Amino acid sequence: MSPEPTVDQLIQAAHAHAASDDPLDLLDAVLTVTRDLSGRADAAVDQVVRRARDAGYSWTVIGERLGVSRQAARQRYAERVEQTPPTVGLIRGRDLDSALTAALEAAQAEGLAEAGTEHLLYGLLTDGVAAATLEKLDATREKIREASRRLFDYPATPVPQAHTVFSAEAQAVLAAAEQLATERTPTCAPVVTTTPQLLAVIATNPGSRGRRVLNDLGIDVADIKRLLHCYINVPRTAFGRRSRRGRSGKRQPDRCSFCGHARSETRRLVAGPDVWICADCVARCGEILAHPTADARQP
């Protein structure tokens, strides 16, 4: 049995069947594609209904396309698409906020109504761990911009957009980054989504536009995983570290509190107050501190 398609895959399939880019035509297409599916199919319809509402269409018109009355359409979708924000919640780190702002500005400069995951990749070069990682792999904003123009259909003459929003794919990637942050944050700490989680999700999603840009630039995803390992693999325990006792009750080897690797002859550990850090993580910290952010330089 083939795996159930993702929301983004459903919407992409709908785009291929839609008569035009009009939200109502897309709504017709997504209904056809998702008629026999459940779960993510409802989420896909919700997103397209939200687009139709954002485009100014009334519940009467949307209800006609759905084959229901205005009242039925409003009762079924209003709470999901209007009262529930389409953006992710929890706490965003300052580096991620800066990246999202830069991504939207980059899409606006291209004359696009939506910012995709390639724009998120562009924005990640603004600040933080993801910026340091991409720079280490020789990725620059200019290279990302050139690759995006080669791969995707951008307008030859940009038309200024009054309001640019994130695409469905970009919103799904942000939600996945938030989920990753939730899974990797110690239970005693607040969940903060930062740039490492977003870069990791983009890099490991083979179908995303951002991943296609990375492939075009010849950047190995394995290198990204290696450089981000310490930031996205913190164990989900009370203090963000693995227990030193296994199921048998025997003491387990000391491990780095950041990357989880055990002490060995080739991997030395430095002890702190109930924590350990290995030489690799110390070196990575040195690289980050060698390029302080603007906020870090302020007294």
Say which residue, 11 or 117, is predicted with more confidence. 117
Rounded to whole angstroms, how far apart are CA atoms 135 and 115?
Answer: 22
How far apart are alpha carbons 59 and 49 in whole angstroms?
A: 9
Query: Who contacts 66 (Cβ-Cβ below 8 Å, separation ≥6)?
Result: 27, 31, 72, 73
Q: What is the pLDDT of residue 236?
A: 46
Confidence band (pLDDT; 50, 70, 90) for 117?
very high
Q: Does the pLDDT value for residue 246 go beyond 50?
A: no
For the chain, the domains span 7-83, 91-232, 241-299
Closest CA to 166 of 237, 86, 95, 226: 86
How remote is the C-alpha of 62 from its chain's centroid?
30
Angle between helices 209-216 and 141-151 (to 10 degrees): 110
Q: How far is CA 178 from CA 151, 154, 182, 199, 225, in A?
A: 27, 29, 6, 12, 17
pTM: 0.53
- Any idea which fold 91-232 has? Double Clp-N motif (1.10.1780)
pLDDT of res. 187: 60
Strands 276-278 and 269-271: antiparallel
| Average pLDDT in the chain | 77
**Mean pLDDT of all residues in 9-22:** 73
Q: What percent of the chain has pLDDT over 70?
A: 75
Exposure of 291 in the CB half-sphere (CA atoms within 13 A): 14
pLDDT for 216 equals: 93
Are 181 and 192 a contacting pair, CB within 8 Å?
yes
The answer to whether 131 and 227 are in contact (CB under 8 A) is: no
